[in-house]
């Protein structure tokens, strides 16, 4: 299953093939219930290529079953400088140019898969963000359940300044977190949000000094793993449903999830 889904090459026990990860500029470490995905092109500030997004999707498809928490982090001075700008100058694989709308739609949907799996209820995803998180990098942080930021963090939604829209799943969480007015202001000015404002806006749940980021993430992960696994899955499902549901629907969802919990706890 993992092999079939992980892309070209032979899948390792813990995910996609090493060559798929290397081409994607990603590192994957699985340690029991915790998987750590590192954006690993520090010399390019972890700029992302199509291979990066496909690699992320491959990790999502082949994640070992016992993994409960996934941490995303960046190697070097920045979390990610967003899309690799060399792709605009025609180096490497070209863009779908939009002339075939259906093909472009499929192309972007495939790249978005690199982000959407982070919302699966079976895992809790944590972005450990430091330095720049620009464009696709900002959207990757937004795709995670929880963001822990270093005090040197700089979020920026750069796409509109480049004539594009943010299309890596980021617009929905951005609006849900900061509201439409602030989301418009951030996107249409492409301005940078620093740590203090990020905390105030709810773009980061936790902000710590740069040299305390790893320890803060480790502490959070330990707390997340201390919770009953079934309760964690059910609660994540419930909370992510809440914004779309009416109160009535949400009450029904709470009852449904609790029945599942009670059955498991009391062995019925």
Sites of contact with ligand ACO (CB under 6 A)? 44-45, 47, 77-78, 81-86, 132, 134-136, 158-159, 162, 164
* Closer Cβ to ligand ACO, 60 or 135, answer by number: 135
Minimum CB distance to ligand ACO, residue 202 (Å): 22
Nearer Cβ to ligand ACO (44/210): 44
Nearest residue (CB) to ligand ACO, 68 versus 154: 154
User: Minimal distance in Å, beta carbon 190 to ligand ACO?
Assistant: 9
Q: In the complex with ligand ACO, which residue's Cβ is closer, 125 or 139?
A: 139
At closest approach, how far in Å is the CB of 112 from ligand ACO? 13
Element (H, E) at 72: strand 69-74
Q: How far is the CB of 114 from ligand ACO (least distance, A)?
A: 13
- Closer of 164 and 252 to ligand ACO (Cβ): 164
Distance of closest approach, residue 54 Cβ to ligand ACO, in angstroms: 16
Chain position whose Cβ is nearest to ligand ACO: 135
């Amino acid at each position: 299953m993992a092999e079939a889904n992980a892309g070209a090459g032979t899948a390792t026990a813990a995910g996609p093939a090493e060559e798929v990860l290397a081409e994607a500029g990603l590192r994957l470490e699985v340690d029991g219930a915790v998987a750590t995905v590192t954006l690993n092109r520090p010399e390019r500030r972890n700029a992302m290529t199509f291979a990066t997004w496909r690699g992320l999707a491959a990790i999502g498809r082949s994640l070992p079953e016992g993994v409960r928490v996934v941490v995303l982090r960046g190697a070097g001075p920045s979390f990610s400088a967003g899309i690799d700008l060399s792709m605009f100058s025609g180096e490497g694989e070209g863009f779908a140019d939009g002339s075939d709308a259906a093909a472009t739609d499929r192309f972007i949907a495939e790249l978005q898969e690199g982000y959407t799996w982070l919302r699966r209820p079976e895992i809790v995803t944590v972005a450990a963000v430091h330095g720049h998180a620009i464009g696709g990098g900002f959207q990757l942080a937004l795709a995670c359940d929880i963001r822990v930021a270093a005090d040197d963090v700089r979020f920026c939604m750069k796409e509109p300044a480049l004539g594009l829209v943010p299309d890596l799943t980021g617009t929905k969480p951005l609006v849900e977190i900061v509201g439409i007015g602030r989301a418009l202001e951030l996107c249409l000015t492409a301005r940078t949000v620093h740590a203090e404002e990020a905390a105030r806006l709810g773009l980061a749940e936790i902000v710590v000094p740069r040299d305390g980021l790893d320890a803060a993430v480790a502490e959070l992960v330990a707390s997340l793993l201390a919770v009953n696994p079934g309760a964690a899955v059910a609660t994540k499902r419930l909370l992510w449903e809440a914004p779309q549901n009416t109160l009535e629907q949400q009450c029904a969802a709470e009852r449904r999830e609790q029945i599942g919990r009670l059955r498991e706890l009391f062995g019925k």
